[in-house]
Amino acid sequence: MSKNIKKNKKFEDHVVQFEDLHNKKPVTRRDFLATGIIPFAASVLTPNLLNLLTPGNAFADSSRCESGAAASEFPAFINVNLAGGSGLSSHAIGLDEGGQLLEKYTRMGLGLSSRLNTVNRFGGSIWYASSTFLRGLEAEMSASTIANTAFVSVCVESRDDSSENPIDISGLIDRVRSGSLLPTLNPNRNKPALLVPKPSVAVGGLTDLRSSILLSGNLNTLLKDSEKGKLLNLVNNLSTSQMQKVQNQTYGDQIQNLLSCAGIKNADLVSKSDLGIDPSADMNVSTLWGIDQMDNPGGQNFVSAAIAYNTLKGNSTLGNITLGGYDYHNGTRTRGDDMDEAAGARVGRLLETAALMGQKLFITVTSDGSVTSGDSENPGEAPWNSDGGTRGMMYMFAFDPAGRPGLKGTQLGSFTQGQAVNDKTLVGGSPELAAASVFANYLSFAGKLSKFEEVVGRGTLDSAELDEVSLILG
């Protein structure tokens, strides 16, 4: 420090320095107060904070810290990704361009249409009557939850066994919805559609959530809450002044904005007494998922419950749940049936959680590719023998506690008589356009379809196409 002072001495000859008067450099707090570096003791942080909030320093303006609206303005969003290529089109049945059953589904595991038993669910969609996904789903849902849920399938090809399908819409959702405490919970393993998502927090249990919003380790017990807040403010102020040096470097202004916003948010968090992030604290949710505070907080049920609870409560921006083992074409039908039943049960519990918490929820179920069955005329009999990305499908579920959302249709895109996705439709041959259409349905469900162009930009879907693909109404 004395070096710095000496270095600048030649510029300061006309000013009487602290050292000149006291025969030493300023070291202590009192010295700094005396020199005027600290105007007065209690407000040492104020100059930096004022500097932070000066209009010229846009990066420090806390109003710029959240780019999405408060979570309460948009429904909760959760993606369930079945990694490996689930046969989703063997549960919700793919229809032709005219909305009719195909003549046969002999390579899709459902045999001849003449032998196929179907049921009508969730506002008009047609499901295979013996679908294990549907069985798992409905086993977890109450009658009223089923009655308040709408469903739309999206017929779209995708690459088998690949994370290269651009179907992750986290980056679109996080432009319109911001969690009050947490960012997106868990990354999506698929390639982003249109916009790269903001960073997420990987959730392996309650500890991960806590350590994201609370000080952990020895600081947690060493410092009182008020002391933690002041420490985080100090870190933020030191960083803010240090970042001035990188302002003109690549990404310099971005890191200034992100780091300042992070500091402001963290200092605010420690002052809150109850963060309410633990799903086991909610009796209804805890019972539904079979968890309580004594259970393993890193278990799969706990993680799914935590994602659902925090997303529905508006704590987090959105949630991603990845279930593995869906590359199940092993020459049997039973393994695929069991896996799909488990997926259905997971989705059913998520919807039931929304019902228990009285919140709107939009769920997408995605996979990479699909499966092809042995050629059989009997529904539900043929084993899954190989991949089948040309028979791919995505699901959209929309739950509203006030009543089933309106529907303009139950299927986006269509299948051909060749038992493959019709790639001539708007969404059929492009997973990215299909994902954009899913986002349009989310916005439509939220009653904010007008936001589409603002987020996605022009040229992806024109207004007529936007209207055509938006089947779920708010």
Partner 1 sequence: MNKRKRQIKIGISLFLSAAFMLGFGHACSQFAADGSGLVNSTSFGEDNIILNEKTVSTVYAKQALQSMSSCLGIANPSMETQQTYEDVQQSISERGSAKEVTAPMMMGLTSLAGDVCRDLLVEEASLASGERQIFENIDLSAEDISEDDLALSINRMARSCWQRNETDQELGAILDSVYDALGSDAGLRKKVIYSCTAILASFDSLKL
Site for partner 1 in 199-218 (CB under 8 A): 199, 201-204, 207-208, 211-218
Q: Taking a C-beta distance cutoff of 8 angstroms, is the pair 318, 78 a contact?
A: yes
Closest contact distance (angstroms) between CB of 202 and partner 1 is 4
> Binding partner 1 by CB under 8 A: which of 17, 19, 32, 189?
32
Q: Which two tokens stand for residue 411?
A: 């299927």
> Binding partner 1 by CB under 8 A: which of 235, 275, 357, 473?
235
Strands 361-367 and 191-192, bridge-based pairing:
unpaired
- 378 touches partner 1 by CB under 8 A: no
What residues from 280 to 319 belong to the interface with partner 1 (CB under 8 A)? none
Closest contact distance (angstroms) between CB of 162 and partner 1 is 16
Give the DSSP letter string of 88-125.
GGGTBTPB-TTS-B-SEETTTTSEEGGG--EEEETTTE
Strands 177-178 and 69-70, bridge-based pairing:
parallel
- 438 touches partner 1 by CB under 8 A: no
Closest contact distance (angstroms) between CB of 226 and partner 1 is 7
Burial (CB count <10 Å: 0-12, 13-18, 19+), residue 404: middle
Determine phi and psi for 399, rounding to 5 degrees: -115, 135
Query: In whole angstroms, what is the distance from residue 421 CA to residue 96 CA?
Result: 9
Query: In whole angstroms, what is the distance from residue 461 CA to residue 266 CA?
Result: 39
Closest contact distance (angstroms) between CB of 430 and partner 1 is 6
> Binding partner 1 by CB under 8 A: which of 44, 112, 426, 473?
44
Closest contact distance (angstroms) between CB of 415 and partner 1 is 22
Q: Which residue has the tokens 């994370």?
A: 163
Closest to 234 in 3D by CA, of 80, 383, 16, 49: 49
Burial (CB count <10 Å: 0-12, 13-18, 19+), residue 406: middle
Query: In whole angstroms, what is the distance from residue 240 CA to residue 243 CA?
Result: 5
Closest contact distance (angstroms) between CB of 314 and partner 1 is 16
- 255 touches partner 1 by CB under 8 A: yes
Q: Which two tokens stand for residue 11?
A: 């510029």
- 269 touches partner 1 by CB under 8 A: yes
Burial (CB count <10 Å: 0-12, 13-18, 19+), residue 7: exposed
Closest contact distance (angstroms) between CB of 210 and partner 1 is 8
Nearest CB to partner 1, comparing residues 34 and 473:
34
Among the listed ranges 111-119, 141-149, 235-243, 396-404, the one in contact with partner 1 (CB under 8 A) is: 235-243
Please report which helix (H) or strand (E) contains residue 185, including its range: strand 184-185
What mask of x and - would describe binding to partner 1 in positions 384 to 423, judged by CB under 8 A?
----------------------------------------
Q: Which two tokens stand for residue 183?
A: 């960012």
Closest contact distance (angstroms) between CB of 274 and partner 1 is 17
What residues from 154 to 183 belong to the interface with partner 1 (CB under 8 A)? 166, 171, 174-175, 182-183
Nearest CB to partner 1, comparing residues 45 and 473:
45
Closest contact distance (angstroms) between CB of 122 and partner 1 is 30
- 21 touches partner 1 by CB under 8 A: no
> Binding partner 1 by CB under 8 A: which of 45, 53, 69, 275?
45
Q: Which two tokens stand for residue 73?
A: 């303005």
